[in-house]
């Protein structure tokens, strides 16, 4: 008996069309992805920081654990909404953060609200802790710049680069006024990394870099006296002039002494605590925490630190390579390049290769705003890694009965 004689019509129905249509509005989640390498590296760095801080400041180490728990929770929250929603919210978020940056600079705001430290107005008093808006500015900046650069027409022309640079120099300028030279320095390498990843023309970028190098001497006169002194200290150190030890270069000299004292395997917690105290190293739990790590765990500890940062970078760049959406890919490139620049500057100033700028070591240095902000960045990387674009392909067909 033929199919026609059976009284049943033969029809073809695409398999899973309705399910696939629903999946476009409810994207599948790739729970296992390279972004988890970032989480592993970040967790290792954070725990290393807690132990390093506890070398001389056990009270700060306890608080850092609390900040770490808050940071991990914030990362989970940042991973929940689809990152394209964050794209739509990037400009309002940037405007909010710029408002906070202006707020801390207002002279009539009482010191009970904006707490100045060492002549800098960077922190807003939240009673239980302090909020540093410049840390949030880094996140808002990366999201906003990625949102703009997702369209090739916005940056393939030389004049089209005006807005990215304007978007960079507005928060950069406000942060410089605080003053916070260290954080401000992070915006330019992040900008260029994102422009290269987006596909900007290299000849345009080379021209801009050449103009920047030519204009660099014009920046020196507007630096603060202590910033100029730190540059002088580095020059004195390179020349072997002992003047850098007696004055502004004291911190760097003490840090290098402790790095050298660690040797290959370190001197252990008790001895490291004694050496740090004896050498009177300023900010040993914050900007100079790398010196404590190198002293306590030696070269092995320093290499472990570097390996964990490489793990974060590898996971981030691998996730970016797998992301097909331009916005998600650029967000990850911005985050990774900013963290890499920050870690490089911090270690460089600790071992005497760069002037001291007050730069924290990501995940490792003590500080609630910095730690929570960097963990939010990790949450954004996981967010992009979990959500992949749907590729619609030709479905197979199946036979089905139709009683019609």
Sign of the CA dihedral with 195 first, then 170, 378, and 293 last? positive
DSSP lists the bridge partners of residue 13 as 398
Q: Would you say residue 404 lies in a domain?
A: no
| Residue 48 pLDDT > 70 | yes
Report the pLDDT value the prediction gives residue 268, as an integer from 0 to 100.
Answer: 92
Which residues are registered as beta bridge partners of 404? none
Q: How many independent structural domains does the chain possess?
A: 1
CB 67 within 8 A of CB 371: yes
In a domain, 8, yes or no: no
Work out the average pLDDT over 48-77: 95
Which of 54-63, 242-251, 262-271, 296-305 shows the lowest mean pLDDT across its residues?
Answer: 242-251
Look at residue 24 and tell me whether its pLDDT is greater than 60.
no
pLDDT average, residue stretch 309-332: 93
pLDDT over 60 (residue 217): yes
Which residues lie below 8 Å from residue 333, measured CB to CB, with a gap of 6+?
193, 194, 197, 317, 320
- How much is the pLDDT for 3? 42
Q: Which residue has the higher pLDDT, 318 or 202?
A: 318
Question: What pLDDT sits at residue 154?
Answer: 66
Boundaries of domain holding 87: 40-387
Q: What is the pLDDT of residue 157?
A: 80
192 inside domain: yes
What pLDDT, on a 0 to 100 scale, did the predictor assign at position 4?
45
More confident residue, 152 or 146: 146
Q: pLDDT by residue (tens digit) across 174-202?
A: 998 888 888 888 999 999 999 999 888 88
Q: How far apart are CA 271 and CA 186, in angstroms?
A: 35
**104-115: average pLDDT:** 85
What is the mean pLDDT of the segment spanning 17-27?
48
Band (pLDDT 50/70/90 cuts) for residue 223 is confident
Does residue 15 lie in a domain region?
no
What pLDDT sits at residue 382? 94
Residues 294 and 319 sit within 8 Å (Cβ to Cβ): no
**pLDDT at residue 123 greater than cutoff 60:** yes
Residue 7 belongs to a domain: no
Q: Is residue 29 part of a domain?
A: no
- Per-residue pLDDT tens digits for 341-370: 999 999 999 998 888 887 899 999 998 899
The pLDDT-based confidence of 283 (bands split at 50, 70, 90) is confident
The answer to whether residue 11 is domain-embedded is: no
- Is residue 99 assigned to a domain? yes
The per-residue pLDDT for 402 is: 40
Q: Which two tokens stand for residue 266?
A: 């370190």
Looking at per-residue pLDDT, the higher value among 185 and 48 belongs to: 48
| Dihedral angle sign, alpha carbons of residues 194, 197, 201, 207 | positive
**Which residue in this structure is represented by tokens 């902000």?**
373
pLDDT digits (tens, 9 = 90+) for 226-246: 777 777 777 777 766 666 666
Pick from 200-204, 290-294, 390-394: least confident: 390-394
Q: Write down the mean pLDDT value for the chain.
A: 84
């Amino acid at each position: 008996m033929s199919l026609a004689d059976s009284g049943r019509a033969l029809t073809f129905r695409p398999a899973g069309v309705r399910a696939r249509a629903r999946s476009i509005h409810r994207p599948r989640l790739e729970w296992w992805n390279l972004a988890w390498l970032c989480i592993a590296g970040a967790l290792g760095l954070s725990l290393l920081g807690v132990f390093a801080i506890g070398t001389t400041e056990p009270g700060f180490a306890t608080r850092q654990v609390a900040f770490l728990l808050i940071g991990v929770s914030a990362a989970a929250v940042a991973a929940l909404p689809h990152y394209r929603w964050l794209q739509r919210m990037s400009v309002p978020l940037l405007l909010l953060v710029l408002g906070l940056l202006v707020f801390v600079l207002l002279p009539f705001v009482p010191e009970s609200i904006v707490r100045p430290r060492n002549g800098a107005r960077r922190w807003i008093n939240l009673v239980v802790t302090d909020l540093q808006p410049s840390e949030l500015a880094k996140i808002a900046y990366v999201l906003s710049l990625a949102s703009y650069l997702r369209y090739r027409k916005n940056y393939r022309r030389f004049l089209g680069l005006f807005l990215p640079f304007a978007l960079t120099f507005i928060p950069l300028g406000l942060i410089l006024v605080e003053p916070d030279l260290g954080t401000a320095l992070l915006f330019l390498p992040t900008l260029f990394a994102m422009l290269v990843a987006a596909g900007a023309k290299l000849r345009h970028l080379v021209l801009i870099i050449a103009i920047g190098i030519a204009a660099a001497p014009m920046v020196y006169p507007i630096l603060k006296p202590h910033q100029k002194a730190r540059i002088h200290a580095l020059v004195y150190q390179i020349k072997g002039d002992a003047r850098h030890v007696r004055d502004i270069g004291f911190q760097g000299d003490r840090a290098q002494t402790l790095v050298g004292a660690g040797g290959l395997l370190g001197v252990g917690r008790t001895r490291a605590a004694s050496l740090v105290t004896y050498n009177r190293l300023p900010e040993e739990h914050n900007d100079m925490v790398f010196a404590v790590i190198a002293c306590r765990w030696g070269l092995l500890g320093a290499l472990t630190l570097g390996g964990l940062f490489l793990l974060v970078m590898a996971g981030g760049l691998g996730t970016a390579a797998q992301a097909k959406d331009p916005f998600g890919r650029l967000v990850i490139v911005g985050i990774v390049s900013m963290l890499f620049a920050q870690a490089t500057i911090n270690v460089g100033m600790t071992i005497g290769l760069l002037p001291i700028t007050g730069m924290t070591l990501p995940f490792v240095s003590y500080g609630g705003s910095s730690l929570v902000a960097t963990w939010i960045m990790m949450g954004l990387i996981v967010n992009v890694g979990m959500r992949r674009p749907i590729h619609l392909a030709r479905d197979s067909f199946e036979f089905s009965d139709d009683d019609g």
